[in-house]
Chain A
Amino acid sequence: MQVFIAQILNGLSIGSVYMLLATAFNLLLLVAMIIHFSYPQVVVFCMYIIWLVLKITNNNVFFGILAGVCSAILFNIVSAPLFQKIMKNREEVDINATMVLSMAIGWIITDVLSHAFNNGLPIQFPEEITGSKPLFRVGLISILPGQVLALTIGIIVVAGFFLLLYKTKTGRAFRAIAEDPAGAKLVGIPLVKTGFQSYALSGALGGLTAVLLIMLFHSASPGLGEQVSHKVLAVSIVAGLGNLVGGLVVGLALGILEALVQGYISGNWSNAIAFVVMLVVILVKPRGLFGVKI
């Protein structure tokens, strides 16, 4: 029973990271109208930037987090014109081309990380940022500050995101484009400028997610980006592309599923089992459990 509770807690915290990643992915899909396969790799890249900044500034957590969020926003904004240019190659929005472009970006990031940082070996994060002393311990259940933060920040950010979506001018423009990009254009919504805003926002979300990942995993490796990316993509498709709420639900569910499997079966298989479950769902329902928006 204790294992069960401990793993549920673990699952919720990692699930909340998946939630954030899926939300940012859907944002880019609905508003910028791109499929950004390697968005999680950008997040892992920011983890590395944070690691670098921590090393240089002698573990100054504030600068580390600042660097992380800023580098994510910068990366997204810089890659935006690349995406926007290829979208217009055919008459309609060529979303497949954005897939290939983002895959290429992912390969580059992973390879750069394996070559240029720490000789490709996994990096460790210092205690100042991870906080590894448990807040609370009962038997096998120990609640680490990282987990609490991941879950609370995850919930706050998602709530904030929905608030933005429903109560602000930018959010309205996002929703209009998500429902009908051509109609939004006719009404006078600036598609390119609003698209840019979505790149920046998902960048900010990404930077935050990088910090949460650091708190949960305490380390990172070049392969982490690919692994997380495949999971988030599978989550998106199981939930149905573009389905914001579905992404939240399936993201959390995946986190809990993974954690439970990890608790009872050896670690090597937990990832594979999660993928098998998702693969079966995709095979049976290629358009997602809750239907595709695209």
Chain B
Amino acid sequence: MEQDSTLASEKKAPMLIVDEISVSYGHIQALKKISIEVYPQEIVVLIGANGAGKTTLLSSILGVRAPSSGKVVFEGKRIDKNSVDKNVRAGLCLVPEGRGVFASMSVLDNLLLGAHHNLANKDKNLARVYEWFPILRKRKDQIAKTLSGGERQMLAIARAMMSDPKLIMIDEPSLGLAPIIVNDIFDILVTLNKEGYTVLLAEQNAFKALKCAHRGYVLETGTISLSGPSSQLLNDPGVKAAYLGA
């Protein structure tokens, strides 16, 4: 289902502003003066090939790597020099590539870890998460290692919800999942968004991601090569050739 891209820009201020950040690993520049914006209640997708810099961008926003130049502003406050846990407490969270689930701990423990900074609301959030993902309630005492790929992805998203985030960043949610499950996951993301969560998502599976997003950015070797409403990107011949398997 395509989204209405005019949700962005006109009325509200952006929730997240990434302003010309550059990030290097030693001598290798992974991101070169990247700027993106995310408005409240949008789903924004970053598409690009492996190594284009999507994960670096998300982890830099989170605070794992400080950018060597530029700044990141979240809800009006600069966050690029903050530690990760400070940013998580401020309302950011990341569902990392590879699920971000602790395989040796139980489902419930994983969820409670998500609530590390938000234990006051844990009962309310647990109830909500179980309502959304009944399979997690069923498996709550099982070790996360025993979950299937799709269930782990659900757990990772549920874990993110436990912190009552304002912006959920997700890195490659479809990786390694069967197509049917991927559809389920993207449906969940759209529903989350309808509930009020803002989502910033990095995906190689450009077609499905653009279908459910409002806007998108195309990353190529550390720079933004294209951006715009998702419908526009879906019809762009360059994007089609490179990422939509036309």
Question: Which A residues contact B (CB, under 8 angstroms)?
Answer: 169, 172-173, 175-176, 179-180, 183-190, 193
Contact = CB atoms under 8 A, between A and B. Distances in A.
Given A185-B64, A188-B85, A190-B85, A172 B104 contact: no
A169 B111 CA distance: 12
Contacts of A169: 112, 116, 119
B94 interface: yes
Interface residues of B, number: 26
Given A172-B105, A179-B105, A187 B64 contact: no
9 contacts: A176-B113, A179-B103, A179-B105, A185-B85, A186-B96, A188-B84, A188-B85, A188-B116, A188-B117
Contacts, number: 58
B224 to A, nearest CB: 24
A180 B112 CA distance: 16
A208 B103 CA distance: 33
Nearest to B122: A169
Contacts of B93: 188
Contacts of B100: 183, 186-187
Given A172-B112, A176-B102, 19 more contacts: A172-B105, A173-B116, A175-B105, A175-B109, A176-B105, A179-B102, A179-B105, A180-B102, A183-B96, A185-B64, A186-B59, A186-B62, A186-B94, A187-B100, A187-B116, A188-B85, A188-B89, A188-B117, A193-B85
In terms of DSSP, what is the predominant structure of the interface of chain A? helix
A178 to B, nearest CB: 9
A186 B64 contact: yes
Contacts of A183: 96, 100, 102
B88 interface: yes
Contacts of B104: 175, 179
B114 interface: yes
B83 interface: yes
B163 interface: yes
A90 to B, nearest CB: 12
Contacts of A190: 83, 85
A187 B62 contact: no
Contact of B85 (A172, A179, A189): A189
Contacts of A175: 102, 104-105, 109
A169 B64 CA distance: 23
A113 B105 CA distance: 43
A32 B109 CA distance: 21
Which 8 A-B pairs have CB atoms at the shortest separation, nearest pair first?
Answer: A188-B88, A190-B85, A188-B85, A186-B96, A179-B102, A179-B104, A176-B102, A185-B84
B159 interface: yes
A239 B83 CA distance: 36
Interface in B108-141: 109, 112-114, 116-117, 119
Given A179-B103, A186-B64, A172 B116 contact: yes
Residue with the greatest number of chain A CB neighbours at <10 A, chosen from B85, B88, B94: B85
Nearest to A178: B104
A175 B117 CA distance: 16
Contacts of A184: 102, 113
A280 B205 CA distance: 54
Interface in B213-243: none
B35 to A, nearest CB: 24
Contact of A189 (B87, B109, B116): B116
Contacts of A173: 113, 116
Contacts of B112: 169, 172
A169 B59 CA distance: 25
Given A169-B119, A183-B96, A189 B102 contact: no
A220 to B, nearest CB: 39
A24 B93 CA distance: 32
Of A180, A186, A189, chain B has the most CB atoms within 10 Å of the CB of A186
Interface string B190-228: 000000000000000000000000000000000000000
Contacts of B87: 188
Nearest to A192: B83
A169 B112 CA distance: 8
Nearest to B165: A188
Nearest to A188: B88
A243 to B, nearest CB: 13
A169 B162 CA distance: 14
B65 to A, nearest CB: 11
